[in-house]
Amino acid sequence: MDEKEPILPVFENKEKEPVYQILRNIASELGFNETLQLQDIENRAIECSKLADSPESTENFNSSIAQIQIVGESLTDQEDPRSVLAQVGLILVRAAVLFESGRLEDCGLEIYDALTSLDNLVESHPEISAIIQKLEELDGILKGKIEQKS
């Protein structure tokens, strides 16, 4: 019996972590700390993405992604100078949810936004250079997978 490609592609790094977990780990490294409420919204979005592609499921998915942004923004401390890094972490949490939902192109756009933000911050936060490198590697893998699907 030949093996079928999984619906949800899993890319792995040297540590054998799936991409969505790597994205979440990087978000945490940047200072973004998820709450149970946010994780619940993320899980709802992922579940909506597994439903038949109907206007209602698409609307519920998009609504959940918007809620992730709203709840996530409330978790970043606007007074803390490092909050700008946590805000980039929020972008990566959205990317993780999009990846888990099989929306690779949208995930790639979020990673691109995160990389753009981090590139603009690297001078004032040189410690993020390694994070930028990790994200660039993930971005390359993701682009390759998207091209394979085309």
Average pLDDT (37-66) is 89
Nearest by Cα to 100 from 63, 56, 144, 65:
65
Per the domain annotation, does 11 fall within a domain? Answer: no
Per the domain annotation, does 26 fall within a domain? Answer: yes
Q: pLDDT value at position 11? A: 46
Per the domain annotation, does 59 fall within a domain? Answer: yes
pLDDT digit string (tens) for 67-110? 999 999 888 765 565 688 999 999 999 999 999 999 999 999 99
Q: Are residues 23 and 92 in contact, defined by beta-carbon separation less than 8 angstroms? A: yes
Q: Read off the pLDDT band of 148 (50, 70, 90).
A: confident
pLDDT digit string (tens) for 104-134? 999 999 999 999 999 999 999 999 999 999 9
Determine the length of the chain.
Answer: 150
Task: Return d(Cα 29, Cα 27) in angstroms, integer.
Answer: 5
Work out how many domains the chain is built from and give that number: 1
Per the domain annotation, does 9 fall within a domain? Answer: no
Q: pLDDT value at position 146? A: 86
Q: Which domain holds residue 142?
A: 19-149
Per the domain annotation, does 41 fall within a domain? Answer: yes
Strand stretches in 20-91, DSSP E: none
Task: Return d(Cα 43, Cα 49) in angstroms, integer.
Answer: 10
**How many percent of the chain have pLDDT more than 90?**
61
Q: Read off the pLDDT band of 15 (50, 70, 90).
A: low
Task: Return d(Cα 121, Cα 30) in angstroms, integer.
Answer: 12
Q: Are residues 92 and 24 in contact, defined by beta-carbon separation less than 8 angstroms? A: yes
Per the domain annotation, does 87 fall within a domain? Answer: yes
- pLDDT averaged over the chain? 85
* Terminal-to-terminal C-alpha distance of the chain: 25
Per the domain annotation, does 104 fall within a domain? Answer: yes
Q: Is the pLDDT of residue 3 over 80?
A: no
Per the domain annotation, does 130 fall within a domain? Answer: yes
